[in-house]
Amino acid sequence: MAKGIREIRRSIKSTKNTRQITKAMKMVAAAKLRRNQERAEAARPYADKIQEVIASIASGTSGSKHPMLQSRPVKKTGYIVITSDRGLAGGYNANMLRAVVNTIAEKHKSKDEYGIFVIGRKGRDFFTKRGYPVLEEITGLKDNPSFADIKKVAGNAVQYFSDEKIDELYLCYNKFQSAITQIPTVKRLLPLEAPEGNTERKMDYEYEPSSEEVLSVLLPKYAETLVYSALLEAKASEEGSRMTAMGNATDNATDMINRYTLQYNRARQAAITQEISEIVAGANAQA
């Protein structure tokens, strides 16, 4: 019985140490979540303005003829998949990867029909181990990534479309709603649908040298901006999911400690009762 008490005491100590770690991780994730939300909100005015300019140009005949706004027969599809480099984030990566795998299974019959641009070590490992065609990858992103960190893969994905190596490009990421709700999202990035302009605030722009050349520069930038905005959403979703997961782990650890403490008290009481019974039995034997 004494050995059982020692084991329970050891389990209580180990679980308390684990609870301290998960509680600290929850606090760190909460701080990172706030920062990523602020950065996502700060990036929105730029995305809104470039969308307004593109809507103004694309509403004209010349804008609508740009290759990035034109659909063509789909022979090969590209997917930009955003995952995390680290785990301990609940179902964040699993839900995203499941959505991508289901989409690929529904749309394609052969690996020659698609290619994947993956951001994040978890996604890279998942796809390479299962033999999916990974065209490019980025791992080791900072907790507060900049546009330059993903410009290469975003620019290359857009270039693949411009060179007609792929005929469609999809963006796959977790859309942030709250710390406990992240929505796996798969949406078409290219060909771009001409953004709807606000007719009440339509601006009259003058372009130099021409609207066509301005559009040829802005459209790739706009596509890259959508990728960066999705990355900021994904980072906020990752930290929200991690904060929730670590909060649940902390609560579970507390429940385990309570159960172990109850077992410990019962074991101690049983041991004391047994000792008293042995003493009484010994005294009666001598009487």
pLDDT-derived band at 43 (thresholds 50, 70, 90) equals confident
Least confident of 61-75, 207-221, 227-241: 61-75
**What pLDDT does 213 receive?**
77
- Which CATH architecture is the domain 36-243 placed in? 3-Layer(aba) Sandwich (3.40)
**What pLDDT does 152 receive?**
87
**In 3-state terms, what secondary structure has residue 83?**
coil
Please give the CATH topology (third level) of the domain spanning 2-25+246-286. Answer: Helix Hairpins (1.10.287)
Average pLDDT over residues 74-94: 93
H or E segment to which residue 171 belongs: strand 168-178
**What mean pLDDT, rounded, does the chain reach?**
85
Average pLDDT over residues 142-164: 88
pLDDT-derived band at 81 (thresholds 50, 70, 90) equals very high
Written as six digits, the tokens of 232 are 């900021």
Residue with tokens 């995305």: 47
**What pLDDT does 271 receive?**
80
For a pLDDT cut of 90, what percent of the chain falls above it?
A: 46
**What pLDDT does 203 receive?**
59
Between 72 and 213, residue with greater pLDDT: 72
- Please state, in angstroms and rounded to a whole number, the distance separating the CA atoms of residues 278 and 275: 5
- Please state, in angstroms and rounded to a whole number, the distance separating the CA atoms of residues 132 and 111: 7
**Candidate ranges 101-105, 149-153, 159-163, 226-230; pick with highest mean pLDDT:** 101-105
pLDDT-derived band at 61 (thresholds 50, 70, 90) equals very low
Domain coordinates of the chain in residue numbers? 2-25+246-286, 36-243
**What pLDDT does 146 receive?**
87
**What pLDDT does 39 receive?**
84
pLDDT-derived band at 48 (thresholds 50, 70, 90) equals confident
Cα 246 to chain centroid, rounded = 16
Q: Is the pLDDT of residue 12 over 60?
A: yes
**What pLDDT does 63 receive?**
44
Q: Are 224 and 154 in contact (CB under 8 A)?
A: yes
**What pLDDT does 199 receive?**
46
Q: Is the pLDDT of residue 224 over 90?
A: no
What backbone phi and psi angles, to 5 degrees, belong to 237? -65, -40
pLDDT in tens, 176-202: 888 888 999 999 988 876 555 454 555
**What pLDDT does 281 receive?**
76
H or E segment to which residue 226 belongs: helix 211-286
**What pLDDT does 24 receive?**
95
Written as six digits, the tokens of 259 are 């159960």
